[in-house]
Amino acid sequence: MTKRFGFTLAEVLITLGIIGVVAAMTMPTLMNSTQGAQYKAAYKKALSAIAQGVTLNVALDGNSFADVTTAEGIKDILAARMNVVNGADEVGTIPYETAPTLLTQGANNYTLYFSDGIVFSFAGPTAGKVCSDPDQDSGISNGEKCKGFVDVNGLKGPNKVVECSNAQAAGVDAAQHTADCEVKNPTDIYPVVYYDQTILPNSQAAKAVLYGK
């Protein structure tokens, strides 16, 4: 007699069940990792694009962040060199619960929507100030570092400020944690500080995403 080798129906079902369980366990992690990498890349792209925009404006028009006194002036600099599809002034028009804590209180505020889906919300300088580094010997006596945030995917979720993963269990401010910040799952909102021709991260978590591996 000829012997035939194969799998029984029960064996096939058990194997498929095991595959399904493993897939269910690994897929969320894989998806979060992929999405986090996209957020990270878009964040770096946004900072580079904004910095290039103001540098180009300095070269062509001679104006940097330090040469205007309102958020409207900052908007004009960026809109002249970048593809802005929409803009809204005043902090109340910014659809983010985190906006009041990420922007300078009492300053005029503005939000720019770029064609690639990135949003830049920022506070203009406070009265009598300009966006310039007060620690540098630039000859500008009324300089201050201005605040804002970048949302790398616009109004789409999760609309969550990036945090240090290793600070959450300690019960401290996860966004500003200073001891070896690690961000395992990058999110879509990144605090920034801008002045002169510079835009930089404005939290330890945002720094970890930009400068980390």
Mean pLDDT of the chain: 82
Residue 190 CA to residue 212 CA, distance in Å, equals: 15
pTM for the predicted model, two decimal places? 0.78
Task: Kindly report which listed range (62-71, 92-101, 147-156, 167-176) carries the lowest average pLDDT score.
Answer: 167-176
Query: Letter for the amino acid at 104?
Result: T
The predicted-structure confidence for 77-128, as pLDDT tens digits, reads as follows 999 999 888 776 654 455 567 777 788 766 678 889 898 889 999 988 988 8
CA 50, 51, 54, 56: dihedral to nearest 10 degrees? -110
Which pLDDT score is estimated for 57? Answer: 94
Max mean pLDDT among 43-52, 134-143, 148-157, 172-181 falls in: 43-52
Name residues whose C-beta falls within 8 Å of residue 80's C-beta, 6 or more positions apart in sequence.
57, 61
Which pLDDT score is estimated for 169? Answer: 46
